Structure 1
Amino acid sequence: MIVKNKTQKKKLFALTFLRVLETGLSRRNHGQLSFQICVRGRYVKKQIPITNKPKWTYKDQMNWPRLFPTCGTRRQSPIDIQPKETVLASFPNFVFHNYGHINNMTMVNNGHTVTINLPEDYPKHKMPHITGGGLNGTYNFAQMHMHWGVDSTLGSEHRIKSRSHPLELHVIHWNSKYGSFAQASMHAEDGLAVFSVLAEVGLGDNKSLMPITDQVGEVTKNGDETVLRKPVALNDILPKQKSSYFRYFGSVTTPLCHEIVTWTVFDNFIDISEKQLAKLRNLKDERGERLVNNFRTPQPLHDRTVFYRSFTGCEISRSLSDATSMADVFKWTKCLMSYAFNSIFSSS
């Protein structure tokens, strides 16, 4: 279709507008509007960015509070955790439901990170979710994404004893009582529960992350999307020992910085190889530049309390009773004494 006069231009505009209404804004466009335009008799899919809210980058995060006022309030994340200043807590263990292998997860480069999502048609009865761990209710898996640095001296958002890690994985869950991820992400204080998993550089590849890192080259540019060919085992991505962690209440670490997150920061780490990190550092952001240093710096703790759930390896599932054998009591006491001895000398 060749546009020759004003009448044809008006018809083309009207047709394009109808196509916009027909196509709409989908969940997977990540801040872009998809539409179809007629070019020489053929409809071509186009995307334009949504510009109804300010853009942000990690380089200008000092300006976030001006553009997004919540980013400057008193319960922001991440934080620098000082273990000696935490308060011991006796949260129950987490219970992981449907946290096994998941097929056909999608990976998307959104210009700020790569997100790993469930397939759109994933059955509700197979939804991965968590309970326990001091959470009130059931929290469904939403997505996971990562933060990393230009090199392995930095990259994580949370820090422990002011130490940064080369990568931090966020596993996001939403409170099922709100009905959807979108509703839970609005303004509810208990809307989200996020696992923070810190990584250290290991000698070999992390096999649990390989379904992601092996295909990350397929989403080099902002807006790229692919389906993972190998299943992702959610439980294997987390640290093997998940019973000790830090807990505090904070915010989402990107604008709009809503303070709706119950954070669980595991104090046991996972491994990742330099080869896998290099693949992430080859990605491009929304400006076509290297996608590195995509982390927010630690925010003031203010008057918040950070709790620490300690795991000794000696926990028992019930209180000691009169029927408990002396052998069990001796074994339990010996375990506690060994743990205390090791803790004293490992911290000296």
Structure 2
Amino acid sequence: MAKVAVLGAGSWGTALGIVLADNGHDVRLWTHRKEQADAINLTHKNENYLEIMIPEQIKAYHDLQEAITNVEAIVIVVPTKAIREVCKNLNGLLDSSSATLIHASKGIEPISLKRVSQMIEEEMEGYQYEDIVVLSGPSHAEEVAKRQPTTVTVSSVNRSNAKIAQDLFINESFRVYTSTDMVGIELGGALKNIIALGAGISDGLGYGDNAKAALITRGLAEIARLGTSLGANPLSFLGLPGVGDLIVTCTSVHSRNWRAGNLLGKGNKLEEVLDQMGMVVEGVRTTKAAYQFAKKQQVEMPITTGIYQILFEDKNPKDVVEQLMNRNKREEMEDLAALLRSINTK
């Protein structure tokens, strides 16, 4: 069995650590907070994130050097805003680039508009883009930690690296598929958080299932439009990290993006919402990046634009809904035809 370091002891990092421990691997769970590492080792709980006992074979670390010594794989599960810092810290500590590098973070960096794999490639010495694997899909940490059936995708342009990641994680409750479309997998996982904010806003406003179904469907069209403009395989958005992740994030109270949107829809300001959440809401940062991306790529993203206006221009959510409902008339098949054309050119 492998020695694996999981960097990031939030809910998702802890849940992935549990999957790896169930598979018999030696798991080192790293956190930048010493008190959290001590509490995990003492109580085998991570109470601020998950209400579940952590297997005893998971050992928590505060010292990054100790956590990564002699490991065969490193799983990065920190918020996107911390990716560059963690990678820079790894550079001075890794003896070589022999460890398989997997990330399970979902987001896009504002201003640079880089995906997580691109940020890692820029910061990590000895690792190239093809060395990186991304793990994504419809996977609430709370359910993964309870060993409830979950299916995800691991993606790398290097098939052998994707296969290594698949073998590390796959078991009877955590099924893992492989893909080579890193662009589509990462964008699907990041952009769905924007639509989940919108779904929460819709529910917070008291709208029903009709509105949410429309939001999810038209949101998928936006994701596919932007993704294909950046070279993603359009079929990826019809798979687990696309429509699968979109559905689960937009319809579950486990979703912190849905919860944040719900509070916004009920009239709370963004600063108040973030204070109440107490955890990173990736959709907020990703909305800013996607709004910039849409302008750069000249891609129409009206839902993303509306959510950007709510988050950063203090626009009333009801006014944004009215704005979306009163857009110019158009033919729905236009989007589907464009998607099919993209598929046929792949």
Question: What is the TM-score of this pair, normalised by structure 2?
Answer: 0.22
Q: Which has the higher strand share?
A: 1
- Bigger relative contact order (CA 8 A; separation at least 6): 1
Question: What is the TM-score of this pair, normalised by structure 1?
Answer: 0.22
Larger radius of gyration: 1
Q: Which has the higher helix share?
A: 2
